[in-house]
């Protein structure tokens, strides 16, 4: 009987140790990632024209996080006058036709919509509007984009389209070809 009791105590002790060790590793991992992510307050994307479209579209776009609001600002040139779809896409890679950026950044599995919609892709920023000189200014506030967690836009793609985004058609608003691509990276604050 005492031997059995002794074994039982040992078994319980081992189980407690195992559970505590597991909890410790679980708690440590996300904390590290969160600390790294939250120290980023500004990101930047340098739009490079896609060569297959013979585009001349270029520009610089910054993303600045204040509290829970992301301010998106930039100037984009080389456009035809009028509206052009403007989105964050899933992958942060430039290629000759911009297709390597994949679809719109959509971590919540929503349908495509305009920037003002309550339910939309996180990457949906609607349209930018170029003036007669082909220059568009982006200046908007966003409630969904982040630099940490599932909605983090760091390392993703930024795309300027050939045509206007109709703000409703899945999967990408019928905005046509991809004229310029940027990779969103960490910027100097
Ligand atoms: Cu797009
Ligand atoms: Zn979309």
Residues 111 and 25 in one domain: no
The pLDDT assigned to 20 comes to 47
Q: Which of 115, 120, 124, 142 is catalytic?
A: 124
Residues 25 and 81 in one domain: no
Domain that holds residue 1: 1-39
Distance 172 CA to ligand 1 centre (A): 6
Residues 46 and 21 in one domain: no
CATH number, domain with residue 51: 2.60.40.200
Return the structure tokens found at 7: 């074994």
Is the sign of the CA dihedral 73, 78, 82, 88 positive or negative?
Answer: negative
Active site residue 111: no
Question: pLDDT higher for 186 or 1?
Answer: 186
Residues 145 and 173 in one domain: yes
Q: Assess contact for 143 and 120: CB atoms under 8 A.
A: no
**Helices within the chain (DSSP H only):** 2-38
Q: Which of 84, 115, 120, 121 is catalytic?
A: 121
Query: Phi and psi for 111 in degrees, rounded to 5?
Result: -85, 160
Q: How many domains does the chain have?
A: 2
The pLDDT assigned to 39 comes to 87
Residues 157 and 80 in one domain: yes
What pTM value is reported for the model? 0.80
Residues 16 and 80 in one domain: no
Residues 28 and 113 in one domain: no
Q: Assess contact for 95 and 110: CB atoms under 8 A.
A: no
Distance 10 CA to ligand 1 centre (A): 60
Residues 64 and 95 in one domain: yes
User: Which of 5, 181, 10, 14 is CA-nearest to residue 98?
Assistant: 181
User: pLDDT band at 30, cuts 50/70/90?
Assistant: very low
Distance 171 CA to ligand 1 centre (A): 10
Residues 70 and 22 in one domain: no
> How far apart are alpha carbons 125 and 108 in whole angstroms?
16
Distance 122 CA to ligand 1 centre (A): 12
The pLDDT assigned to 13 comes to 46
Q: Assess contact for 177 and 90: CB atoms under 8 A.
A: no
User: Is a pLDDT exceeding 80 seen at residue 146?
Assistant: yes
Per-residue pLDDT tens digits for 47-69: 999 999 999 999 999 999 999 99
């Amino acid at each position: 009987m005492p031997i059995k009791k002794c074994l039982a105590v040992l078994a319980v002790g081992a189980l407690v140790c195992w559970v505590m060790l597991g909890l410790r590793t679980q708690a440590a991992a996300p904390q590290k990632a969160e600390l790294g992510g939250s120290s980023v307050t500004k990101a930047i994307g340098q739009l490079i024209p896609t060569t297959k479209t013979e585009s001349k579209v270029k520009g610089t776009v910054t993303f600045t996080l204040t509290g829970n609001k992301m301010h998106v600002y930039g100037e984009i040139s080389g456009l035809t006058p009028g509206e052009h779809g403007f989105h964050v896409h899933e992958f942060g890679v430039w290629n000759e036709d911009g297709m390597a950026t994949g679809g719109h950044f959509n971590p919540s599995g929503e349908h495509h919509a305009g920037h003002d919609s309550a339910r939309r892709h996180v990457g949906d920023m609607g349209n930018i509007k170029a003036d007669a000189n082909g220059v568009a200014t982006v200046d908007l506030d966003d409630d969904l984009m982040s630099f940490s967690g599932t909605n983090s836009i760091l390392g993703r793609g930024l795309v300027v389209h050939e045509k206007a985004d109709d703000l409703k058609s899945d999967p990408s608003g019928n905005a046509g070809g991809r004229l310029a691509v940027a990779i969103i990276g960490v910027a100097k604050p």
